[in-house]
């Protein structure tokens, strides 16, 4: 089936099917959402449903975009994602889009639930046209992500600054332009630029800078009367929200969080395998003989994600639910880690203490994952926890468990 066929069958379905037909699509208004198990066609239709709802808002009536135009744009955008990537594929983009949609509903910015927008709250700075731009940024935020790369010619092209994020933003803008949607995103240059700039905020090497800026913003909204220019506060809110959505997998119900973590680690270790083949140095997080799923998630939550969500929740209180879920997930990962350590101790006792005795054990990933089908490896023993010291607060500037190594 070609993309055009998908497009037309969807249009026919929209014209002839009853409204309840859309119920077979996952509930986009649910935090327990996941795109797993959805076909490309279903993913495309889920995205369409989000934008279709938002574009029906009276404040966005002026954005005249036909159903066919919207569908064509989404189909084209889906096709520039590399679906052979375990993690950085169109499903991840859909997940990020749904997360933003959900959070905007919780904040009362989108009126599709019974939450109301209070004028006194920071989120009242977000206007429907900002929301539209932000949702476009979300679905395009990892467009054309290469997954693994053997060299980095893009670095030269984009002057080494937020290389991948610049690629995603440029790819998205080209498609918006091709489909005549760029004019609709905003009538002034600055509004169109906002879409780009919020994608640039997803560069994890800038993570700590953003967390500091958000901390200051919380301080401004909660303790002082001095505010930045409205547009600056608004841009920062957009950056904060897209950043949260981008790493929201660690705040989803644990069953989805583990699946995302496994997929990401698969992508990382494929990168490591390639680097090994090329004789390049390999980061521990990309090294299949070193990475331990539980440690990667405990560190990522403790030293990267929780800080962001808690600070965002100090500005946008309604986001607290996600920080709470993340803390629960952290406890689950910690208890899983304890069980593995216990198993490891048992294993050490029964195994021969001779250091030269080669034994077949599975890597940390396999041992700790129920659904991943990674291969067995000849390793002497599972890497000890001491080998991979937990980051202390002094290491905060250089979290090693996220892809900050791009630059
Ligand atoms: P990307 O989606 O491009 O931007 C955010 C990055 O955060 C993501 O790529 C990963 O590199 C990293 N990240 C997201 N979720 C996790 C996770 N659960 N564990 C470790 N790193 C993550
Ligand atoms: Mg990215
Ligand atoms: Zn992403």
CATH of the domain at 131: 1.10.1300.10
Q: Is 250 in the pocket of ligand 1 (CB under 6 A)?
A: yes
Contact call for residues 333 and 301 (beta carbons, < 8 A): yes
Choose one of 246, 279, 314: the last residue of a domain. 246
Residue 224 alpha carbon to ligand 3 centre in Å: 34
Running DSSP on this structure, what letter comes out for residue 301? I
Choose one of 198, 217, 246: the last residue of a domain. 246
pTM: 0.83
| Residue 313 lies inside a defined structural domain of this protein | yes
Counting atoms of ligand 1 from 1, which one is nearest the CA of 202? 4
Distance CA 1, CA 24 (A): 20
Burial (CB count within 10 angstroms: exposed 0-12, middle 13-18, buried 19+), residue 140: buried
Distance CA 283, CA 175 (A): 34
User: 166 and 290 share a domain?
Assistant: no
User: 236 and 292 share a domain?
Assistant: no
Burial (CB count within 10 angstroms: exposed 0-12, middle 13-18, buried 19+), residue 387: exposed
User: 348 and 238 share a domain?
Assistant: no
Which residue has 């607290």 as its token pair?
Answer: 320
Q: What is the pLDDT of residue 405?
A: 34
Residue 75 to residues 46, 72, 237, Cα–Cα distance (Å): 12, 5, 29
User: 233 and 293 share a domain?
Assistant: no
Here the tokens at position 160 are 């080494």
Counting atoms of ligand 1 from 1, which one is nearest the CA of 297? 19
Q: Is 81 in the pocket of ligand 1 (CB under 6 A)?
A: no
User: 238 and 272 share a domain?
Assistant: no
Bridge partners of 360? 378
| Residue 138 lies inside a defined structural domain of this protein | yes
Distance CA 103, CA 108 (A): 9
Residue 120 alpha carbon to ligand 2 centre in Å: 33
User: 138 and 181 share a domain?
Assistant: yes
Which of 7, 62, 82, 88 is the catalytic position?
A: 88
Assess whether 88 carries a catalytic annotation: yes
| Residue 260 lies inside a defined structural domain of this protein | no
Residue 202 alpha carbon to ligand 2 centre in Å: 6
Q: Over the chain (407 residues), what is each successive 10-residue block's mean pLDDT? A: 56 46 67 95 95 94 91 98 96 98 97 90 94 95 89 58 91 92 70 78 96 97 84 95 98 98 96 90 92 97 98 98 98 94 76 44 35 34 33 35 35
Determine phi and psi for 264, rounding to 5 degrees. -65, -45
Total number of domains in the chain: 2
Q: Range of 317's domain? A: 266-407
| Residue 361 lies inside a defined structural domain of this protein | yes
User: 63 and 136 share a domain?
Assistant: yes
Q: What is the pLDDT of residue 27?
A: 82
Instruction: Confirm or deny that 300 is annotated as ligand binding.
Output: no
Q: Is 402 in the pocket of ligand 1 (CB under 6 A)?
A: yes
Determine the residue of 271, 300, 322 to mutate for testing ligand 1's pocket, defined as the one with the most ligand atoms within 8 A of the Cβ atom: 300
| Residue 13 lies inside a defined structural domain of this protein | yes
Q: What is the pLDDT of residue 376?
A: 33
User: 31 and 151 share a domain?
Assistant: yes
Q: What is the pLDDT of residue 6?
A: 58
Give, in degrees to the nearest 5, the angle at Cα 241 between 240 and 244: 85
Instruction: Confirm or deny that 92 is annotated as ligand binding.
Output: yes
Running DSSP on this structure, what letter comes out for residue 289? T
User: 84 and 203 share a domain?
Assistant: yes
User: 274 and 136 share a domain?
Assistant: no
| Residue 253 lies inside a defined structural domain of this protein | no
Choose one of 217, 246, 275: the last residue of a domain. 246
User: 80 and 153 share a domain?
Assistant: yes
| Residue 209 lies inside a defined structural domain of this protein | yes
Tell me the three state secondary structure of residue 361.
Answer: strand
| Residue 261 lies inside a defined structural domain of this protein | no
User: 172 and 59 share a domain?
Assistant: yes
Q: Is 200 in the pocket of ligand 1 (CB under 6 A)?
A: no
Determine phi and psi for 68, rounding to 5 degrees. -65, -40
């Amino acid at each position: 089936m070609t993309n055009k066929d998908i497009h037309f069958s969807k249009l026919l379905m929209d014209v002839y099917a009853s409204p309840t037909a859309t119920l077979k699509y996952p509930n986009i208004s649910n935090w327990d959402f996941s795109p797993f198990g959805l076909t490309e066609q279903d993913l495309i239709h889920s995205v369409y449903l989000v934008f279709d709802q938002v574009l029906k808002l009276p404040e966005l009536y002026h954005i005249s975009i036909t159903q066919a135009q919207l569908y064509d744009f989404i189909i084209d955008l889906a096709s520039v994602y590399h679906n052979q990537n375990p993690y950085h594929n169109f499903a991840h983009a859909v997940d990020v889009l749904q997360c933003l949609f959900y959070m905007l509903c919780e904040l009362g910015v989108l009126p599709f639930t019974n939450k109301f927008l209070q004028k006194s709250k920071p989120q009242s700075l977000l206007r429907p046209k900002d929301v539209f731009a932000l949702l476009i940024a979300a679905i395009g935020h990892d467009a054309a992500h290469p997954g693994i790369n053997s060299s980095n010619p893009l670095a030269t092209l984009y002057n080494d600054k937020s290389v991948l994020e610049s690629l995603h933003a440029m790819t998205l803008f080209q498609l918006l332009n091709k489909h005549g949607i760029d004019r609709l995103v905003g009538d002034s240059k600055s509004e169109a630029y906002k879409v780009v700039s919020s994608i640039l905020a997803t560069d994890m090497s800038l993570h700590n800078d953003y967390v500091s800026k958000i901390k200051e913003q919380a301080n401004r909204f909660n303790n002082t009367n001095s505010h930045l220019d409205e547009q600056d506060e608004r841009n920062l809110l957009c950056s904060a929200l897209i950043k949260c959505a981008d790493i929201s997998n660690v705040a989803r119900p644990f069953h989805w969080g583990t699946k995302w973590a496994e997929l990401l680690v698969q992508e990382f270790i494929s990168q490591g395998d390639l680097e090994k083949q090329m004789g390049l140095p390999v980061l521990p997080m990309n090294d299949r003989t070193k990475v331990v799923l539980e440690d990667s998630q405990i560190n990522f939550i403790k030293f990267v994600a929780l800080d962001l969500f808690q600070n965002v929740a100090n500005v946008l209180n309604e986001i607290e639910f996600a920080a709470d879920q993340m803390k629960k997930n952290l406890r689950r990962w910690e208890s899983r880690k304890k069980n593995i350590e216990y198993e490891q101790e048992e294993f050490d006792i029964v195994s021969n203490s001779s250091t030269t005795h080669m034994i077949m054990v599975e890597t940390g990933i396999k041992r700790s994952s129920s659904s991943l089908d990674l291969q067995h490896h000849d390793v002497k023993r599972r890497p000890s926890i001491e080998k991979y010291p937990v980051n202390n607060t002094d290491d905060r500037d250089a979290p090693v468990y996220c892809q900050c190594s791009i630059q």
